[in-house]
Amino acid sequence: MTAKFVEAVRESYDGIDRLTPVTGRPGLGSYVRQLWQRRHFIWWQSRSRVITSNDDSRLGSVWLVLRPLLDAVFYWLIFGVLLQFDRGMDNFVAFVIIGVFMYQFTSTALTAGTRTISSNLSLTRAFQFPRMALPVADLIFDIMQRMLAVLVMFGLIMLIPPHETPEWTWLLFPVLMLVQSVFDFGLMLIMARISTKIPDLTKLMQFVTRLLMYGSGVIFPIERLTANHPALHAIVEMNPVFVLLSMYREILIDGTVPSPEHWIMLLCWTAAVFLIGFFVFWLGEEEYGREQNR
């Protein structure tokens, strides 16, 4: 019967061959093109979010600087002053500050990924655009917010004794941050797709980010604690976030260029996470506006 209906329409009306499906995802190539076409949308969305993100507080955008500063003071008090937990490291405070600040970048991306679809539902329902625009906007929002935190971080490691002084290896910092951004973006995309399938993930995130924090040696040198557990040690050494943080510390504290092994491992992880993330997010393109029924 349906075939007869289509046939009648074909014979009676003009233009049936000019129709295109309203659902269905475009091919990867045209998806990327559509995404590029929406670059202004992405830019304005992230921009206005940075500006209004602290509107509900009295101090407003001052919090962009104040929050990382308070974080740093907290860790400095605990680890630098109270615990004297430096175990023969020459600059433990810088170790902790770099760890905490750069790790926050990845942990916020993980959490943002689980929320990017659900918190933008009214936009998704109202307009047709490639949904990946939302996580991209989240990423840019995150980077813009993080810029101030990075400045605070540099200020602190130079101010707090033993003062770090700029070295030429600091020039590698933007390169490493770019790699981290791509890695974070891949994670975000994976999280976004999984969380539309399994919303319970949102509740697990606190646990996941905490586990990753200890497993990546953010506030203490994990590789020394696992020295007696070969299996655990191997896992930690393979952990991309651990590798990333070690590399930041090498260029900022030690003033040395990270080893080629570390670079290769980090780049492989980043490429894999990014490609997998991009692909799985694109696969789910049609799911993101749907009413979720479980």
Binding site for other proteins (CB under 8 A): 1-2, 4-6, 8-9, 11-16, 18-23, 37-38, 40-41, 44-45, 48-49, 52, 55, 122-123, 125-129, 133, 286-287, 289-291, 293-294
Cβ 1 to other proteins, closest distance in Å?
A: 5
**Is the Cβ of residue 112 or residue 253 nearer to other proteins in the bound state?**
112
Tokens matching residue 194: 């999984």
Contact 211, 129 (CB under 8 A): no
Main-chain dihedrals φ then ψ at residue 229, nearest 5 degrees: -115, 90
**Is the Cβ of residue 197 or residue 229 nearer to other proteins in the bound state?**
197
Say how many C-beta atoms besides its own lie within 10 A of residue 80's C-beta: 21
- CA dist 223 and 233 (Å) reads 7
Cβ 175 to other proteins, closest distance in Å?
A: 31
User: Which letter does DSSP use for residue 77 in this model?
Assistant: I
**Is the Cβ of residue 15 or residue 88 nearer to other proteins in the bound state?**
15
Tokens matching residue 139: 């990423």
**Is the Cβ of residue 235 or residue 283 nearer to other proteins in the bound state?**
283
Angle, nearest 10°, between helix axes 92-115 and 63-75?
A: 130
**Is the Cβ of residue 1 or residue 82 nearer to other proteins in the bound state?**
1
Cβ 172 to other proteins, closest distance in Å?
A: 35
Omega before 162 cis (within 30°)? yes
**Is the Cβ of residue 130 or residue 258 nearer to other proteins in the bound state?**
130
How many residues in the chain? 294
Cβ 131 to other proteins, closest distance in Å?
A: 11
Q: Of 154, 153, 152, which Cα lies nearest the Cα of 65?
A: 152
Tokens matching residue 270: 């980043």
Cβ 91 to other proteins, closest distance in Å?
A: 41
Cβ 53 to other proteins, closest distance in Å?
A: 8
Element (H, E) at 123: helix 121-126
